[in-house]
Structure 1
Amino acid sequence: MMPHVAHDSRTYRRRSALAAALLALLAIGAGPDRPQAVWAVKDREARQPQVTIAADGRVYLAFGSGNEIRVASSDDGARSFSDPVPVGTLGMLALGMRRGPRIAAGQGAVVVSAIGGAGGGPYGGLSAGDLWSWRSTDGGTTWSEPIRLNQIESSAREGLHAMAGGPQGQIACVWIDLRNNRAHIRGVLSTDGGATWGPEILIHQSPEGPICPCCHPSVAFGPDGSLYVMWRDAISGARDMYLCRSLDGGKTFEPSQKLGLGTWPLEVCPMDGGAIAAGPERQVTTVWMRDGRLYSADPGQPERLLGPGVQGWASWGPSGPFLTWLDRRPGRLLELRPGDTEPIELFRSANDPSVASSINGQGPVVAAWEAGPGGSGIFVARLDEPGDHDAE
């Protein structure tokens, strides 16, 4: 159960009035087709929210505030959240442009990862940076000491990584590695819910030089344990998305394949990496941006234009893949549900959205995002049960 927090009645009324006013200004009201936003974290410094859903249905929300990593949780299906709990602090916590903490659940544990270092680099990267993980076995109340995941010191200084939980409690973490000043994808795996981690794995190195260095990688497990990794490469002057798959739990990976039929000649990094939704029977859908337009593509199939947009995210829910994106950064937050042909608007001004569901595709599908511009905290919404509850 979430801890009870006592509030002065006047403070409670003021907060409730402020929440109602903000939602009236920014959110689309609940209705038969539109989920209602919940103001989950009332911290103007809260950034880069990420969500995971444990096997028992509990929802965990990770984010950064200053140099501190924090986690809030919900035991009522993301209708309300506990006060955030501090996980750890890193010097120069990497935040912004999809940098920030990641969270996954497995084997009764919750695992958080984040990158921190020293000095500001280009686009929010670091002059030095390492990838760390923390673990909780009591529902996010207390957290372990951090474990460094990259073996070569400061090789994760670009500040971009991804993490996912698997059906047997596996945890996979991948990042853009800059050892030898050549951006490529490395990863580590845990088979015990983040208590220990295996050795580094070289997942992909571009044949011509560095991959696109400022677009975050993505990782997802399928319900059968298959593992998928996606990144933006830089080959022959084009910045296209590529996907690879492992069928042996991440020990080996099949050759990578380009996603979609089109290509994007571009000399600079667009800073937008997309996401993977992995479903049953090895079904996979990806969402990503090309030249200011958002596309969805299954491996080996032509891409499908969703519309103008950036910062796509995807997760496989009970009825298929749920997709979210912004029409601009910051901008309107849009959602496309399984079987729909047109998106609906979730929020009028948002940034850095993400969406998550449980690994077995059952239970809630939850989106989280920053309010923008200027920020007023983090909002969440249930995407699988639209219009069935009110924000508090």
Structure 2
Amino acid sequence: MTLPLAPCLPTYRARRRFALATVLLALFAIGAGPDRPRAVWAVKDREARQPQVTIGAEGRVYLAFGAGNEIRVASSDDAGRSFSEPVTVGSPGMLALGMRRGPRIAAGQGAVVVSAIGGLGGGPYGGLSAGDLWSWRSLDGGKTWEEPIRLNRVEGSAREGLHAMAAGPEGQIACVWTDLRDDRAHIRGVISADGGQTWGAELLIHQSPEGPICPCCHPSVAFGPDGTLYVMWRDAISGARDMYLCRSTDGGRTFEPARKLGLGTWPLDVCPMDGGAIAAGPEGKVTTVWMRDGRLYSAEPGQPERLLGPGVQGWASWGPGGPFLAWLDRRPGRLLTLRPGDAEPVELFRSANDPSIAAALDGRGPVFAAWEAGPGGSGIFVARLDDPGDPE
């Protein structure tokens, strides 16, 4: 008797190709060199996208990501050597993913908070015809999650799908997003003073003087150790798409006038779909990282920008010794990281997408990076940047 093998061959071959690809990926990308941190394969799921990482109490590492329309969280209690099976937080309908869309995560006052934007149906903004920003809170280390809270007060106004979230030194949490009410993209935000249990009044943080801000570049938010709140976005003023930063020293009640970052400018008529990140340190020190015309720069407020090289999708966080930076040389492409004291960036991964970095709030470490493997994907990887080499 001849068994009908033919119908099974495509599935078998696809699985074999995926298995071979992941083995090869592990061989050339995970191993650590003398100066390269070791990457851990934290989530083995091809649907896992847009990872964000944060450090909670006692150094516990939390990793949030999207898979389909679900928001999931995995965690590590052994300094990032291994990660738990992901827990499903919830689903806001059609989850906004891709190009820095996706969930965000922060920890404060014994709580872990996740935020994400979702809606129903198709539309021009991130695949959403309606999009709202929601937050979930866990009080047991991410095992269970409370019912979500909607953060944008005007229904559907967060439909661009882009937002950012950060925790402060006193457990406060800030969430900012690109808002499209009145069809004019601008930056709004809310702040929680109790670890995400409740949220304050909606804040109008910035509205461009000439019309909408650059609508498809994600905003950034960060707290300094002294509680100063920083927000960054790409504006569209006089035909240029440059990065701007503002700050609040009174807990978000008021914001100082926005300041352009860097001395150069970028005349551009379209959105480049690339935001940036803020690393806020002690004594008011701030470093930003962002892209202009295919090149990545770092800049301090009021100072000339520093060229890092060809790059996109930059991220930053303040850790031991100063700012830790990460970016791609292209998308997808090589993942590079520059740590305090390094003369040159180190290649962390051969082919990656959308990296993010998080450091402990006290700035003393640890510092972790997370990213998607690409192209095609085989899951999410995590590496501890302030502790290079084999974690064992």
Q: Same fold (TM over 0.5)?
A: yes
The structure-2 alpha-carbon separation of the partners of 1:17 and 1:308, relative to structure 1 and needing over 3 Å to count, comes to: closer
| Mapped pair 1:25 → 2:31 | no
Q: Does structure 2 conserve the Cα–Cα contact (< 8 Å) formed by 1:97 and 1:124? A: no
The residue aligned with 2:95 is 93
TM-score, normalized by length of structure 2? 0.93
Equivalent runs, 1:189-208 vs 2, <5 Å:
189-208=191-210
Extract unaligned runs of 5+ from structure 2.
Answer: 1-17
The residue aligned with 1:9 is none
Q: Does structure 1 conserve the Cα–Cα contact (< 8 Å) formed by 2:118 and 2:131? A: yes
In 1, distance between residues paired with 2:319 and 2:19? 31
Code of the residue aligned with 1:389 in structure 2: it is: P
CA-atom RMSD, angstroms?
1.5
Q: Does structure 2 conserve the Cα–Cα contact (< 8 Å) formed by 1:350 and 1:371? A: yes
**2:121 aligned counterpart, secondary structure:** strand
The structure-2 alpha-carbon separation of the partners of 1:177 and 1:36, relative to structure 1 and needing over 3 Å to count, comes to: same
Q: Does structure 2 conserve the Cα–Cα contact (< 8 Å) formed by 1:176 and 1:213? A: yes
Q: Does structure 2 conserve the Cα–Cα contact (< 8 Å) formed by 1:55 and 1:358? A: no
The residue aligned with 2:84 is 82
Q: Does structure 1 conserve the Cα–Cα contact (< 8 Å) formed by 2:240 and 2:269? A: yes
In 1, distance between residues paired with 2:23 and 2:357? 24
Q: Does structure 1 conserve the Cα–Cα contact (< 8 Å) formed by 2:164 and 2:176? A: yes
Code of the residue aligned with 1:23 in structure 2: it is: A
Among 374, 381, 384, the residue aligned to 2:383: 381
**2:130 aligned counterpart, secondary structure:** strand
The residue aligned with 1:335 is 337
Q: Does structure 2 conserve the Cα–Cα contact (< 8 Å) formed by 1:46 and 1:65? A: yes
The structure-2 alpha-carbon separation of the partners of 1:41 and 1:370, relative to structure 1 and needing over 3 Å to count, comes to: same
User: How many angstroms does 1:56 deviate by?
Assistant: 1.6
Q: How many residues align?
A: 375
Equivalent runs, 1:204-215 vs 2, <5 Å:
204-215=206-217
In 2, distance between residues paired with 1:341 and 1:266? 32
Q: Percent identity?
A: 83
Equivalent runs, 1:1-392 vs 2, <5 Å:
21-27=24-30, 29-122=31-124, 124-389=126-391
User: How many angstroms does 1:363 deviate by?
Assistant: 2.4
**1:269 aligned counterpart, secondary structure:** coil
Extract unaligned runs of 5+ from structure 1.
Answer: 1-14
Deviation digits for residues 161-194 of structure 1 (CA, Å, limit 9, x no counterpart):
0000000000000000000000000000000000
The residue aligned with 1:8 is none
In 1, distance between residues paired with 2:220 and 2:127? 18
Q: Does structure 1 conserve the Cα–Cα contact (< 8 Å) formed by 2:92 and 2:134? A: no
TM-score, normalized by length of structure 1? 0.93
In 2, distance between residues paired with 1:386 and 1:306? 21
User: How many angstroms does 1:18 deviate by?
Assistant: 8.2
**2:297 aligned counterpart, secondary structure:** strand
The residue aligned with 2:7 is none
Q: Does structure 2 conserve the Cα–Cα contact (< 8 Å) formed by 1:219 and 1:227? A: yes
In 2, distance between residues paired with 1:66 and 1:199? 31
Deviation digits for residues 9-58 of structure 1 (CA, Å, limit 9, x no counterpart):
xxxxxx9998654311334x313200011000001000000001013210
**1:172 aligned counterpart, secondary structure:** strand
User: How many angstroms does 1:362 deviate by?
Assistant: 1.7
The residue aligned with 1:5 is none
In 2, distance between residues paired with 1:191 and 1:306? 37
Q: Does structure 1 conserve the Cα–Cα contact (< 8 Å) formed by 2:125 and 2:161? A: no
Deviation digits for residues 309-361 of structure 1 (CA, Å, limit 9, x no counterpart):
00000000011100000000000000001122310100000001000001110
